[in-house]
Structure 1
């Protein structure tokens, strides 16, 4: 029997963990050049030269525009496979060699 529940839990924890770490290290860009690197457009700046968004909104926009959700999914799938391989390997399967 494939440990589907374990794989789903590990996938969700890994993907959400990646998003949480991404949010924790995100800094609102201060210059237009740094903002363009984060995926913001020049028209999204306020009159004072700062972004018109608060930190949570700026992170969400940057996360989607830079397509970091693909990275979160990839990390989740990799760790879910590792959990699967370790669970099957304990039962004597050969899938643990992939880890």
Structure 2
């Protein structure tokens, strides 16, 4: 049995919103990843994106397209990314993010 594969699948199933990066075991930090993708509600919805910035943009696109709410424990993180980094509706920050 492949315990690493099983633990990876379990981690995916427990993830509400996420980006995954798969690297080869002997990869250097500056090597390109083997796979980059997006997880929504425990399902890999996109893969083979090539890099993390594209995966972040695709995650936000899916959230908007599917009209999803941010997970409560990550609400302020996603709000900061959306409003400060991506400059979407940045004039109305919550008090926590200000």
Task: Give the TM-score taking structure 1 as reference length.
Answer: 0.25
Q: Considering only CA atoms, is the larger Rg found in Structure 1 or Structure 2? A: 1
Q: Which has the higher contact order (CA 8 A, sep 6+)?
A: 1
Instruction: Kindly indicate which of the two structures has a greater share of residues assigned to helix.
Output: 1
Task: Give the TM-score taking structure 2 as reference length.
Answer: 0.25
